[in-house]
Structure formats: structure tokens, C-alpha cells
Structure 1
Amino acid sequence: MLKAIRHNVNVLESVATSSFTAWRGCLVVKAAEQPEKPLVLYDMEACPYCRRVREALTSLHLDVDIRPCPKGGKLYRPEAEAIGGKQMFPLLVDENTGKVLYESADIVEYLFREYGKRPVPKLYQSKPWQPALSSVGSGVSELRGMHASPGKRPEQALHLWSFEGSPFSRLVREKLCEMEIPYTLHNIGKEHWTEIGPARQRIKPGAYQPQPGGKRDAFFQQHGRVQVPYLEDPNTGEALFESSRILKYLDATYGG
């Protein structure tokens, strides 16, 4: 009972975090073509600058391999330093173009130019107050996803279907970051304004039908619904919806 109450509180905190960041990273601006080689992001979930990059990735429908680098982490921080020369995040590595980029504004501009084939939209352009508001958002979520916690390391990276503004998905990403569990982040942001709202109560009434031919449509054809977070673990064969179930699974399977 107490765990359920605590989880609901965390969800409300995560909703507040999304509100402080103006719900960026929910709607797709332009569905970019996935590159031949996966993008790699060395990332800290609670970092407001990393969040800006993940928002842009969602808006472009781009998938990315996440290498979690929480404070106190020992798994990917040294690797990031070996690649870029310092432990500063976010760090984007794109083997398709040979680019290695720090600085969230530079990464966001690069993603929209290289993969969106367009300038950065106004909503995603850097504003002087954004880091402060995003930091408040991280504080509201008790800085989950900031510090490393003991845990086991999977042999293979996990797969998470998510979009940045989803409060429920954020709870799972926070846990994965703290446990330094690598995962492929499959972004399935909302492709049309009629999809706004929770999975069971969207703005448009009636049975849900995703935009034909998109990433959401492919997910719908496979699972019969579009709901995030959705986690697949190739190490165990588990496939789970619902943030509370996923968090329980991660603690039981990979907790220290």
C-alpha cells in the first residue's frame, strides 16, 4: 500500500517536471529517417541539458543508444572521457558522420539540421530561462536519475519505448540511469494533436487509430495499443508495460 502511494506521488512529481519543461518532447515535429548506425548519447537523466537533447530526439522520432552516466557512476563515465576528453554531459557520438559533440545547444542544432533537414523550431531553441526551469523540474522529481545506485549489469542492453515528456516513462528512465543500465531508447512521440492525452483518454474520442505508416502504427500493429513505457529485456525475455511493474522488475532483476 505504501509503495503504491509512493509511486503515485512520484508520478505527480514527474508530471510537474514535464510542466516545468513546457511539455517539450511529446509531439513529433518531423519524423526523421533513422541513421544506418545508432546514435549514442552519454546521458544523465536528471540533467536539464541532457533533457534538452532527449526532447529534440523525441521531436525528430529518432532512436538513440543511451549510456547512463549518473554522478558516482563507474561504468560509462570513463568511456565518455576517453571519447571526448572530459566527463561532461550530454555527449553525443554519431558514427554516421564522425561527429562527437558536447553542449546541448550544439547537439540540438546538429540533430535538427542533420536529420530534420530544418532549423531548430522556436519551442526547442535555447532560451536563457530554460535551464533554470528545467533544474526546478529535476528538483521537483527529487533529483531521481542523478546519482548512481548499486546494481547488476545486464549482458545485453535493454529496449525502452518512450517519449521524453511522458511522466510515467521518466520514472523508468530515472531508474535505468541510476542503475547504469544501458538501453536503446525507442522514441514514439505523439504524431498528431489528436493523440494528446493519456493512452486511455486521448482528446479524440473513440477507438485509437495511429497515423498510418508511422512508428506508432508499427507499434500498434504489434501490440494492439500504443502505451509507454514499454520495456523489453533480451537477457530474460521479459516484456512489460506499466511503469510500476517495470520498476519492480528492474529492482528484482538488477538491484544491488
Structure 2
Amino acid sequence: MVLHAINTATAFVATWARFGLGSRVSALGPRPEKPLEVYEFEGCPFCRKVREALTVLDLPVVVHPCPKGPSRYRAWVIENGGKRMFPYLVDPNTDTAMYESGDIVRYLFRTYGAGRRPFLLASGPIGNFSSQMASLPRLGRGTFYRGTVEPEQLLELYSYEASPYCRLVREVLSELGLPYLLHNVARGSRARQAFVARSGKMQVPYLVDPNTDTALFESGAIIAYLRGTYRA
């Protein structure tokens, strides 16, 4: 209980360091037919900027965690993209694949947005520094691969970037290298109504695991489930 309280407190600090960016949806443009795909890991400050943009733009995305170590998706990115660099975005709707968080953010807002980028996603060095500061309180959580049993079907996570409780769950998914379909449901999200119809209430994080017919609220319960089910 004490450790979970400390983890939650430092996750809140990470949110404050980004001034709550990734808690609310902005003006939206066209919607993609297929979910985007992103190869990233939770402890990466540059990956954070892309996740924030995805939340602000209310985009569903398949997350392929690439923590440091022998994670299978890290090797895939090197083989298919040619570089050991993260984040890496794949958009099957436009046959686009790209590195560099700044380029990815600009692409996302140009393709799926209808307004200006938030300051911390448009300010270059200031935004990068703020994101690096947000990583410090978490002491590298979500950065290193800890081994996993590979699921047959994608897990699903209802989340939004600025939620400290969702951050705790995403860190464990990253460390275990578990791919998942991320449903962003920040304030103003068009997906909230369907989420409430599915889950029964507006509360995140919410994990759905079709491999075991399991659905869970509460970050502590989800983390215990993931570690108990998928840690190798």
C-alpha cells in the first residue's frame, strides 16, 4: 500500500510537470478508418509527446511497447525502420511511417487536427525539457523489459495520457512488452459515450483482456493482474 501510494504521488508529479497536457481533447479534423500504430516505451520523454498528441486528437492507437532489452517490437522497428530510435509511428490510413517526435506531432495535427498544437507540443526545446523533467519522478519506470508471456489477442486499455493512474498501468504494459489497443477517452472525447456503455461508468484506467475474458478497473488491481498473468 505504501509503495503504491508513493508510485501514485510521483505519477501525479509527472502530470504536473506537463501542466496536465493530455487531459482534454482539442479541435478535431478527419477521423482515421483504422487505428494508428506507435512503437514506443513509457519512460521515453519523446514518446510522451506523441502519446499526448494522440490523446489531444482523440485517436485510437495500437501500442507496441519497445522497452530496452530483448523486446520483440524493438527488433521489429530496427529491421523495418532502419534505426534504433523511438517513437516510431505507422499510419495504415495514409501508408506513412516516420521517426522523430516533433515530425510525428506535426503530422498528427496536420492530418487529424483542426487547430493549433498545444504550446508544449509546438515549442521545441522547451517542450522537450518539460517532458524530460516529467520522466524524472518515475525513475525510469516503463523503460526496461522484464519478460512476458505473449498473449494471442490484443489487450485493450481505456486511458488518457495525463491520468497518473493510467500512467502506472501503461508503465507495466511497457515493461512487460504487451501490445494493446489504446482507447483515448480524455475530457471531450467522442469515445466516452461508447466506453460508458461498455464498462458501466466513466472511470479509467479500464483494462479488457479478451484472452481471459477479464475486465478490470483500478490501477492497483490491473497491475497485479498483468504481473500475475503475463510476467514470464
* TM-score between both structures, scaled by the size of structure 2: 0.95
- 5+ residue gaps, structure 2: none
Question: 1-side partners of 2:120 and 2:18: how far apart?
Answer: 10
- Residue deviations 1:117-147, cap 9 Å, x none? 4442434313313222322221211210011
- For the pair 1:218 / 2:194, whether they are aligned, the reply is yes
Partner of 2:230: 254
Partner of 1:139: 136
Deviation at 1:225, TM superposition (A): 1.4
Q: Contact conserved, 2:29 with 2:111, CA < 8 A, in 1?
A: no
Q: Which residue, out of 75, 81, 103, partners 1:106? A: 103
Q: Which amino acid aligns with 1:240?
A: L
Deviation at 1:156, TM superposition (A): 1.2
* The structure with more radius of gyration: 1
Question: 2-side partners of 1:19 and 1:231: how far apart?
Answer: 25
Deviation at 1:101, TM superposition (A): 1.1
Higher helix proportion, which one? Answer: 2
Q: Which residue, out of 209, 221, 229, partners 1:233? A: 209
Question: 1-side partners of 2:118 and 2:94: how far apart?
Answer: 23
Deviation >6 Å, runs of 4+:
none
Partner of 2:127: 130
Deviation at 1:186, TM superposition (A): 0.4
Partner of 1:243: 219
Q: Contact conserved, 1:113 with 1:120, CA < 8 A, in 2?
A: no
Deviation at 1:163, TM superposition (A): 0.2
> Which region of structure 1 is more displaced relative to structure 2, 228-237 or 123-132?
123-132
- For the pair 1:81 / 2:81, whether they are aligned, the reply is no
Q: Contact conserved, 2:30 with 2:111, CA < 8 A, in 1?
A: no
* TM-score between both structures, scaled by the size of structure 1: 0.86
- For the pair 1:54 / 2:30, whether they are aligned, the reply is no
SS of the residue aligned with 2:125? coil
Partner of 1:64: 61
Q: Contact conserved, 1:18 with 1:137, CA < 8 A, in 2?
A: yes
Q: Which amino acid aligns with 2:106?
A: E
SS of the residue aligned with 2:89? strand
Partner of 1:181: 178
- Residue deviations 1:163-203, cap 9 Å, x none? 00000000000000000000011000111xxxxxxxxxxxx
Question: 2-side partners of 1:123 and 1:33: how far apart?
Answer: 23
- Residue deviations 1:5-46, cap 9 Å, x none? 101110001000111112111010134554122211001111
Q: Contact conserved, 1:34 with 1:63, CA < 8 A, in 2?
A: no
- Residue deviations 1:82-123, cap 9 Å, x none? 221111000001111111111111111110110114442434
Q: Which residue, out of 33, 37, 42, partners 1:40? A: 37
Partner of 1:199: none
- 5+ residue gaps, structure 1: 192-210
Question: 2-side partners of 1:226 and 1:91: how far apart?
Answer: 31
- Aligned Cα root-mean-square deviation (Å): 1.5
> Which region of structure 1 is more displaced relative to structure 2, 74-83 or 225-234?
74-83
SS of the residue aligned with 2:142? coil
- Residue deviations 1:43-99, cap 9 Å, x none? 111101000000000001101000000011331011111221111000001111111
Cα 1:225–1:31, aligned 2, differ >3 Å: closer, same or farther?
Answer: farther
SS of the residue aligned with 1:248? helix
Q: Which amino acid aligns with 2:84?
A: Q
